Structure 1
Amino acid sequence: MPYVLLALGVLLALTAANAHAPRRGPGLLTPSFFAGWLTIELAPHVLVVWAAATALAAAFGGLDGWAGWTGLALAVLGMAGVAATLAASRRTVVTLRDSGAPLELDPEGAPRYPLAHLIVPPLCLVPRKGVRVERNVVYRQEGRLRLKLDVFRPAAERAGGGLRPGLMQIHGGAWVIGDKREQGLPLLNHMAVQGWVGFNVNYRLSPRATWPDHLIDLKHFVAWYKEHAEEYGADPDFLCVTGGSAGGHLTAMVALTANVPEFQPGFEDADTTVQGAVPFYGFYNFFEAGTFPRPFGTTRLMERMVVKQPFAENREVYAKASPVTYIREDAPPFFVIHGSRDSLIPVAEARRFVERLREVSGSPVLYAEMRGAQHGFDVFPSYRTARVIEGVERYLTGLHRQYRQGRAPEVPGEVTRSLGEPSVG
């Protein structure tokens, strides 16, 4: 048993070290990400399990020898490391406030994210009290193609009538996997509680789909929304868009390529503008090196499965697939969110995009960098997720308030002065 405790201690110490410094080398990237992701975002649950396992090993003779005591010391060090990641997540409120956004994170009377979901994460799969979900609504049908979405909206009618703001959620999954049933659920539930109508949208996936099929599908949704929003109590003239990872890339593309005919074949005259974008840990540049040693467009994923064209002879194609190409002065407001320990998409990708967007856009460009957060941190309803969701809701609600008052999107003057540099938590 002492050697069992030693092995456990080594495992816990290595897992904690990986959470703080994820590996990016060949063969290690994916397992390192998953191990760090689960450890960081489920830190309270991980600590309970680790403590119980260590105590059991010690109780059954694990301390009978030097190996057991060494294992115990390593286990304690590992748990201390995980506790440090938990402490970092508790500082997320500070990070969000440092983003420069008028988020009003603790407005009087505003409902907080439910504590029960933080204790029992699977509860996020169940619609929250006061939320009605309508599943598998078909928004595009052509021949055998049937694309569907789920609608999250308040169960009660709005007092005094009137239309509610709309939010489009785009799932991630490297453009090849993912589904509306898996991502964005904590955010959509919370937004519906706050009076929004959310649309969790599926789109065609590679390798069956070839870029820009993914974006074309999502633009079909925006056109569909303009025609059908009122059927769900939403305002057809107000739609914001959000999503993470590949969904973050697609969020930025939807926001920046409004009414671009190339991405609207057969419905070029449809209005596909949106009023705000909140991309989480997205990719924004496929054709320039910087965050990776070589452009991301040169990867096997992009050349063989998504774009399906060799990068060397088709660099312009990859440029046209990059949000950074479409940065413009009349871009909608952006709130870019990224984790500082993202091992799949380096945080420098977000910083570079925000810097370029701020140079050109006439709208507010806000940036929040989550201390210690991995890629996909918001999939689980962790403490960090709860605070980020509350912050995003306050930000989007502020945009909607300005829209209803007939004002252009803006950030208060004292905040504008702090937007010259990306805010790093």
Structure 2
Amino acid sequence: MIWWIIAIIYAALGFNLVRSRSRKLQRVPWLTFGWALLTSELAPQLLALLLLAVVAGWLGSASSAALLLLALAALPLLWAIYHSRQVPERVEQSLRQGLGANYQAQLSTADNQPLSPLPSWLRVVNPVGFAEPGVEVLRNIAYAPHGTRTQLDIYRPTQRPPSGCPVLLQIHGGAWMFGSKNEQGLPLMNYLASQGWICFAINYRLAPSQPFPTQIEDCKKALQWIRREGSQYGANPEFVAVSGGSAGGHLAALMAMTGDSELFSDGSGDTSIQAMVPFYGLYDLVPRGEQPNDELVIGLLNQRLFHQSPEQNPQLWESACPINYLQQPLPPAMVIHGQIDSLVPVNTAVKFVTQLSAASSNPVVYLELPATEHSFDVPNSWRSQVVVRGVHRFLEWARSRHYGELLNDDSATDKPDTADNTASDNPASESA
């Protein structure tokens, strides 16, 4: 009996992973998402356990039918592992398409080595181990006077240059209603800190007790604090990139796309962003009849985030949509989304990237990952290990471009005016 139970559980996990996500929903599919995330990102570990079960069942009393079902249950796991092995090629292809075939010429030798398709086996054994050598974490530093919800953590290298480290601001997800700086973006922040970056993971006040725009206002207060105080922690806030997943991806995009304006800001400091990397974010919160789950979205956001319907306050809903700020100066972007995302359909990212690419004068990289669920980067899986290295490449490229443009601007400013010099050096002009 036990072998049938194990076989049915594995078969259910596999079916949940590979079934279609394009269907109308009556409620948020938390279980679908949770089990698919577990299956896709921990497929090697689950496959190893399954093989042990097959061997134990074969040596024990399992029937041939139960053993056959156990063996077939391995197919979705092998499918997930196969797609994980394709991630290095997919990441490199996306970077070349977005930044140009020769983008690696702007990276250091260490940054442009081939992305390995093989994972760190230590991470496979312990996918929730995130610590990197040479990285330290400072916790629970207040950036605003609202208790634990306006605190941040700092991930930084133990050895920092006198000029300071480039900055990543990380915003956690959780449907704007839950989540913490301690839970998300950990593979990315630890890896970047090991490569000389300093990362600030922030909390922000949550809905429903604090409706929108409190969340984005807190994010901008955190950025202003970083620009005021960051240097004493080893930051060089001349270059600040922003990232986040899910609701954090939405806030990261909204922050970057309104950065040069005073929207959602008290005007007390610079809130410009030099690069953005939103993961599986929602970029258009207004239901426009294009998605099968518009009613679900309206109900969730109306009750939890806005406390008003789109008809009652259309301006508030529209103001929350990053896709409405395409006329602003836009930084380089790397947008990342999974093809089988259960919570935020991948076509929302495709629509956003299409419009962003058409509007922006800066490059847009779009990384769409097959067989990938929402929040795929929470564990240190095969996939997340490669993706964070791709994000590092993008950020180093964006930083190189940023300082190159500053250097060109300084050169243009310092260049003498040819017409004025000609006039002052011409005796005829003096006699005139």
TM-superposed deviation, 1:218: 0.3
Match of 1:130 in 2: 134
Q: What is the CA–CA distance in structure 2 between the aligned matches of 1:304 and 1:77, rounded to whole Å? A: 43
TM-superposed deviation, 1:298: 4.6
1:282 aligns with 2:285: no
TM-superposed deviation, 1:104: 4.8
Match of 1:36 in 2: 36
Give the 5 Å matches for 1:223-238.
223-238=224-239
Q: What is the CA–CA distance in structure 1 between the aligned matches of 2:208 and 2:269, rounded to whole Å? A: 28
AA partner of residue 154 (structure 1):
P
Which of 148, 152, 172 matches 1:149? Answer: 152
1:45-101 deviations in Å (ceiling 9; x for gaps): 1111222233333433112xxxxx222222211112211111101100111122124
1:256 aligns with 2:251: no
Q: What is the CA–CA distance in structure 2 between the aligned matches of 1:46 and 1:205, rounded to whole Å? A: 35
1:131-175 deviations in Å (ceiling 9; x for gaps): 011111111115x676110001110132xx322100000000000
- Helix, strand or coil for the counterpart of 2:183? coil
TM-superposed deviation, 1:224: 0.8
- Helix, strand or coil for the counterpart of 1:241? strand
Residues 407 and 86 of structure 1, relative CA distance in 2, 3 Å threshold: farther
**TM-score, normalised on structure 2?**
0.85
Residues 294 and 201 of structure 1, relative CA distance in 2, 3 Å threshold: same
Deviates more, 1:24-33 or 1:395-404: 24-33
AA partner of residue 300 (structure 1):
G
Q: What is the CA–CA distance in structure 2 between the aligned matches of 1:175 and 1:294, rounded to whole Å? A: 19
1:24-58 deviations in Å (ceiling 9; x for gaps): 54468221111111000011111112222333334
1:180 aligns with 2:186: no
Deviates more, 1:290-299 or 1:383-392: 290-299
- Helix, strand or coil for the counterpart of 1:376? coil
1:139 aligns with 2:143: yes
Max Rg structure = 2
Match of 1:46 in 2: 46
Give the 5 Å matches for 1:18-417.
18-21=16-19, 25-26=25-26, 29-63=29-63, 69-99=64-94, 100-102=97-99, 104=104, 109-110=110-111, 114-124=120-130, 127-141=131-145, 147-158=150-161, 161-264=162-265, 267-289=266-288, 292-293=291-292, 295=294, 298-328=297-327, 330-406=329-405
TM-superposed deviation, 1:305: 1.1
TM-superposed deviation, 1:286: 1.2
Cα RMSD for the two superposed structures: 2.4
Deviates more, 1:106-115 or 1:167-176: 106-115
TM-superposed deviation, 1:407: 5.5
Identity %, equivalent residues: 33
1:16 aligns with 2:19: no
Deviates more, 1:312-321 or 1:293-302: 293-302
Residues 251 and 27 of structure 1, relative CA distance in 2, 3 Å threshold: closer
Q: What is the CA–CA distance in structure 2 between the aligned matches of 1:291 and 1:50, rounded to whole Å? A: 41
Q: What is the CA–CA distance in structure 2 between the aligned matches of 1:276 and 1:408, rounded to whole Å? A: 18
Q: What is the CA–CA distance in structure 2 between the aligned matches of 1:348 and 1:268, rounded to whole Å? A: 35
Figure out how many residues of one structure are paired with residues of the other and give that number.
Answer: 395
AA partner of residue 273 (structure 1):
S
Aligned 8 A contact 2:149 2:204 in 1: no
AA partner of residue 123 (structure 1):
G
Aligned 8 A contact 1:291 1:349 in 2: no
- Helix, strand or coil for the counterpart of 1:44? helix
AA partner of residue 154 (structure 2):
V
Q: What is the CA–CA distance in structure 1 between the aligned matches of 2:40 and 2:407, rounded to whole Å? A: 39
- Helix, strand or coil for the counterpart of 1:136? strand
1:362-389 deviations in Å (ceiling 9; x for gaps): 1111101011110000001111101100
Residues 115 and 72 of structure 1, relative CA distance in 2, 3 Å threshold: closer
Aligned 8 A contact 2:27 2:296 in 1: no
- Helix, strand or coil for the counterpart of 1:367? strand
For structure 1, the 5+ residue unaligned runs are: 64-68, 410-425
Aligned 8 A contact 2:280 2:344 in 1: yes
Residues 104 and 21 of structure 1, relative CA distance in 2, 3 Å threshold: farther
